[in-house]
Chains A and B, each alone.
Chain A
Amino acid sequence: MWPLLKAEWDDNKYLLLVIFIFMELNFLTMAYLDRSQAPLVSSLPHLLTVVALIFFFNRRFTEKRVRLQQLLPLSLKDLSVGRIFFQLWFWAGALLLCGLSHLFYGSDSARHYLVWRLLALNSLLISTNAVYLISYDLWTDVSEKSNSTRVAIIILLWIYIFLSGHFYIEPESWPLATADSIPAVNRIFYFTPWGVLLLHLISFGLCFGSVKVYQRRRTYFT
């Protein structure tokens, strides 16, 4: 599996560097702004992270690449676990940049909630990664399941991701929530160790799901 991970890094390193430089500029700019003064603007780096992540996925996940990997003498288990690690380059780098930027350049209020916020972001990115992989497999595979079942699963998973992202980014602006409940949800999941632990358990569960879905694919074509 390691030669494949090395190859993926080698193939993507320049794109990753460009994305990281772009993101770092954003992180630094936002870190200067106090969250209380610019609540909407401070959400942008996180949105950009997820957008860049999906852009990165779309470039990497093509039928030819899947075929190339599938033909190698690697087991399905190695390939399916390896796919999750491919993204490690991205989110580990993004997390590090985000953390350092806020730590060294951010305002006091930014530093105050930094640790749990960053860990929560970590779980959000792992979940997005896994949900993308699951969606890709379900969407591209001609499986035994009916089309509507697959579409329903994909929609539910992305609702989870968008809600998580929404609560993470700007919980106060959620239109359906009462004034008290949203900060509570936000507080539990993104500012407490138990909440962050739960989010990580969910993200690891989704990773496990993506491994299983890949192994159950009936075809490795799109």
Chain B
Amino acid sequence: MTKAFQFIDVVKTYPDFKLGPLNFELAPGIVLGYIGPNGSGKTTTLHALVGLIKVDRGQMEIFGRKNDPNKIDWKFDIGYVGDVHVFYEGWSGAKNLKFLSQFYPDWSDKRVTELAQRFNVPLNKKAKELSGGNRVKLALISALAHSPKLLLLDEPTSGLDPVVRSEVLDVLFEILEDGERAIFYSTHILSDINRLADELAFLDNGQIVLRTAKDDLTENWRKISFRLNEPVTKFEAVVNHRQEGTDHQVISANYQITLRQLSELGAENIQENRMTIDEIAVQILKGGKDVAAVKG
């Protein structure tokens, strides 16, 4: 099956930062959350994919076509909402959308009208007069109006106040829940994507440290506390371990393996607790590559 996108050995180096080598892909119809702290390389990944920067090594494909800047066919398949929303500022939202419509054969004015109504965007206002929330909404309309097969979202809600953020996300998720398009959603706020994501990729310092199904994480990760008298050098599948005397608290990336080992060791008072996706994300990003090794 043709991948929605594919990164093959992609490397981009700056004087103080290196992204990659990145080797990952996204299947059609899957929503992938791209999670990482600020400065981890999320935006650089997206900039490389949409052609705003050139990489030093490797290649990227979108639905089987290389993202060659001298060709344009691959651009018809993507809708991109970036970290900065760019318009002709002196033009109204409607005029900006009309301008964009000239470039996309599959552009639908009907869809624009529908989306504008659902987002409640004043399209007659000049872009420079729109609030932050409405600018995001206008960017989303322009990204969705040609019904792209792959939607690339780069922290679209960053800089918005919580009320507007929630409003934008609600409408966005409602629109995207049809499950037909692949979505690559980059964010450092996991709760933004938790509702929608099928899979999660965790990026730390330019490297993907873990790629997993979201359900896998919530099913397998547990906070386990127990009492153990014997000294143990290594617990299996554990990414974080705290000890006070004989009381231990561990975070396990695979609680069944850990519990089996604890049982063999004769641990007592074992209590396991589910973790929220945010708590898991923090552990993964704190652990970096070590977490991937434990998971593997």
Indicate if the CB atoms of B103 and A72 lie closer than 8 Å.
yes
Interface string of A7-21 (1 = CB under 8 A from B): 100110000000000
Which residues of B lie under 8 Å from residue A215 when comparing CB positions? Answer: 69-70
Q: Known interface pairs A11-B90, A219-B54. Does A71 touch B72 (Cβ–Cβ under 8 Å)?
A: no
Q: How far apart are the CA atoms of A3 and B86 in the complex, in Å?
A: 17
Please provide the chain B residues from 55 to 93 with a CB less than 8 Å away from any CB of chain A in the complex: 69-72, 75-76, 80, 82, 84, 86-88, 90-91
Q: Known interface pairs A3-B102, A76-B70. Does A219 touch B88 (Cβ–Cβ under 8 Å)?
A: no
Q: A70: CB under 8 A from chain B?
A: yes
Please provide the chain A residues from 72 to 121 with a CB less than 8 Å away from any CB of chain B in the complex: 72-77
Instruction: Kindly provide the distance from the CB of B101 to the nearest chain A CB, expressed in whole angstroms.
Output: 9
Q: Could you list some 30 contacts between A and B, CB below 8 A?
A: A3-B103, A7-B99, A11-B88, A11-B90, A11-B91, A65-B86, A67-B52, A67-B82, A67-B86, A68-B88, A70-B51, A70-B52, A71-B51, A71-B82, A72-B100, A73-B75, A73-B103, A74-B72, A74-B103, A75-B69, A76-B70, A217-B54, A218-B54, A219-B52, A219-B53, A219-B54, A220-B52, A220-B53, A221-B47, A221-B53
Which residues of A lie under 8 Å from residue B99 when comparing CB positions? Answer: 3, 7
Footprint of A on B, CB under 8 Å?
Answer: 14, 47, 50-54, 69-72, 75-76, 80, 82, 84, 86-88, 90-91, 99-100, 102-104
Nearest-CB residue, chain A, relative to B48: A219
Q: How far apart are the CA atoms of A75 and B47 in the complex, in Å?
A: 16
Q: Known interface pairs A70-B51, A70-B52, A73-B76. Does A7 touch B88 (Cβ–Cβ under 8 Å)?
A: yes
Indicate if the CB atoms of B86 and A71 lie closer than 8 Å.
yes
Q: A187: CB under 8 A from chain B?
A: no
Which residues of A lie under 8 Å from residue B50 when comparing CB positions? Answer: 71
Q: How far apart are the CA atoms of A73 and B75 in the complex, in Å?
A: 6
**What interface size band does chain A fall in?**
20 to 34
How many residue pairs between the two chains, A and B, have CB atoms under 8 Å in the bound complex?
60
Indicate if the CB atoms of B91 and A75 lie closer than 8 Å.
no
Please provide the chain A residues from 157 to 210 with a CB less than 8 Å away from any CB of chain B in the complex: none
4 smallest beta-carbon distances between A and B, as pairs: A73-B75, A68-B86, A3-B102, A219-B53
Nearest-CB residue, chain B, relative to A143: B54
Which residues of B lie under 8 Å from residue A64 when comparing CB positions? Answer: 84, 86
Nearest-CB residue, chain A, relative to B99: A7
Q: How far apart are the CA atoms of A7 and B99 in the complex, in Å?
A: 7
Q: How far apart are the CA atoms of A3 and B50 in the complex, in Å?
A: 21
Indicate if the CB atoms of A142 and B91 lie closer than 8 Å.
no
Which residues of B lie under 8 Å from residue A7 when comparing CB positions? Answer: 88, 99
Instruction: Kindly provide the distance from the CB of B68 to the nearest chain A CB, expressed in whole angstroms.
Output: 9
Instruction: Kindly provide the distance from the CB of B128 to the nearest chain A CB, expressed in whole angstroms.
Output: 11
Which residues of A lie under 8 Å from residue B104 when comparing CB positions? Answer: 73
Which residues of A lie under 8 Å from residue B88 when comparing CB positions? Answer: 7, 11, 68
Which residues of A lie under 8 Å from residue B53 when comparing CB positions? Answer: 218-221
Instruction: Kindly provide the distance from the CB of A154 to the nearest chain B CB, expressed in whole angstroms.
Output: 21
Which residues of B lie under 8 Å from residue A70 when comparing CB positions? Answer: 51-52
Q: How far apart are the CA atoms of A3 and B88 in the complex, in Å?
A: 13
Which residues of B lie under 8 Å from residue A73 when comparing CB positions? Answer: 72, 75-76, 103-104
Q: How far apart are the CA atoms of A11 and B86 in the complex, in Å?
A: 14
Nearest-CB residue, chain B, relative to A62: B86
Indicate if the CB atoms of B52 and A76 lie closer than 8 Å.
no
Q: How far apart are the CA atoms of A104 and B14 in the complex, in Å?
A: 58
Indicate if the CB atoms of A71 and B71 lie closer than 8 Å.
no
Q: How far apart are the CA atoms of A215 and B51 in the complex, in Å?
A: 12
Instruction: Kindly provide the distance from the CB of A77 to the nearest chain B CB, expressed in whole angstroms.
Output: 6
Q: How far apart are the CA atoms of A76 and B69 in the complex, in Å?
A: 6
Please provide the chain A residues from 56 to 72 with a CB less than 8 Å away from any CB of chain B in the complex: 64-65, 67-68, 70-72
Which residues of B lie under 8 Å from residue A221 when comparing CB positions? Answer: 47, 52-53
Nearest-CB residue, chain B, relative to A217: B54
Which residues of A lie under 8 Å from residue B86 when comparing CB positions? Answer: 64-65, 67-68, 71
Nearest-CB residue, chain B, relative to A218: B54
Instruction: Kindly provide the distance from the CB of A4 to the nearest chain B CB, expressed in whole angstroms.
Output: 8
